[in-house]
Structure 1
């Protein structure tokens, strides 16, 4: 998958002559709704014998427009790109969202970042907005397509259990500790990445009862509590518990015979997958 980083105004000319279907959106989490949109875009691309591209934005517009610099994400950019690659996206345009870009009129966004990039078909969600003060929406795109060389497909909202599938709703579930409900909307268990902070005398300790875990990235974190999790470094996978006991520190509460397997992953990125919240207990049971 090719990744092209864009900054407005574009100083570099991208010689993209071949037609492509472009999906537009922020796609935080690449949840079930996003996946459906991307699969529909993929079908359109296949039908028209052309490539599938995505345009996403970094950081989230609210960081620039509303000053929400502490905003947390379901999927930081690197994880989002991994998800898109697995879906089969051919090219991703990552637009750096700046105050200058935020002031771009909707008409100029279409001219500079749809027409000049030779996108022949645009696929967006029903609530997609763009341009200065969100003056552009799906109706604006549809009208513009009548006089320009591109078509527009709008994907309607997706609903599960009477709830609209959205990144906002999934973030709320996680923040409230309801991680067991996340797969119904995200399409998989929620994951975060980071590193284990080992004690200095690691190899002198015959038994390890806990290790600190440092989050790598601005992830949405579940509410404080004890969670059943799976930890993997890409080679080894163990199950256990994660104790979130403060707003900044996360500690594993795992049995020593399982922690021994992670001694060799010092300073290596690991992934923690959340299953469900459990009640605190004096003794954590053994997982077979």
Structure 2
């Protein structure tokens, strides 16, 4: 897969000079609804014997339209994770458009001319709710008007699960509940984050539970604070683990939010490693304990629950 980063306006030499089926969307989470849209494009590209291209943005449009601070946004997938899923789905070209004010205020006709026709699309594929400007004039219903029969238009109906639309918003709500099983059903994979193992306060060692402290991006959407059955990928290998998202309130108020991972039957030094952490199942939400002894008793139970999850 070739990644093409675009800052508006682009130059023609940045665009591969060949026809493509172009799939449009932001695709936060690359969930099963998104996958349906992308795989529809993939099937059409095969039928037309052309490459499959996907166009997405480096940041959410609300950063520009709502003047929202970027660090306050919480994404289900980082751009790097999005790239991983796109490659896994068989995308040939991934256009990553910098969503700037200059790009955001393109008129609908200019967007179609420059970012669909200009990208040599023989067909444009999107979800039913895709917009490329003000909703009342730049939705999929208006696309034929701007297309002027220069490319085919394929609109993919919403994908549902248990009667409700699969959406990034629905997934975020489930993350807030810690319902990781339902999150995985909607995503089509187990929810995970990526980060770097850094030094913490080493308190876990004194409790008998040495943990890998994960430094993650501020823009990452975490599940609800709690203790989870998890897995961690270190140097290409997945290990069974127990993780904690919380502020360690037992040892004082106002502490920084951390993600700490206790890896089962593991004693290697992994500081500095870039890792991926999956959240399979919420064991319990965070509580403040009276002291270290009560916390240790609960951690012992958490470890037993984790081992039972994997081995029973």
**2:116 corresponds to:** 114
**1:68 corresponds to:** 68
SS of residue paired to 1:182: helix
Q: TM-score, normalised by structure 1?
A: 0.90
Taking the aligned partners of 2:37 and 2:200, their CA distance within structure 1 comes to 45
SS of residue paired to 2:303: coil
Aligned residues: 281
Taking the aligned partners of 1:236 and 1:43, their CA distance within structure 2 comes to 33
Structure 1 residue 149, shift from structure 2 partner: 1.3
**1:49 corresponds to:** 49
Taking the aligned partners of 1:150 and 1:78, their CA distance within structure 2 comes to 30
Q: TM-score, normalised by structure 2?
A: 0.83
Please give the residue correspondences for 1:209-228 in structure 2 after superposition, counting only pairs within 5 Å.
209-216=210-217, 218-228=219-229
8 Å contact from structure 1 (residues 175, 220) kept in 2? no
**2:79 corresponds to:** 77
Q: Which moved more, 1:28-37 or 1:174-183?
A: 174-183
Please give the residue correspondences for 1:192-271 in structure 2 after superposition, counting only pairs within 5 Å.
192-198=193-199, 209-216=210-217, 218-246=219-247, 248-254=257-263, 257-258=265-266, 260-261=267-268, 263=269, 265-271=270-276
RMSD: 2.3
8 Å contact from structure 1 (residues 195, 216) kept in 2? no
Structure 1 moving runs of 4+ over 4 Å: none
- Unpaired segments of 5 or more residues in structure 2? 248-255, 286-297
**1:92 corresponds to:** 94
Taking the aligned partners of 1:137 and 1:19, their CA distance within structure 2 comes to 24
- Unpaired segments of 5 or more residues in structure 1? none
Equivalent position to 1:278, from 280, 283, 294 = 283
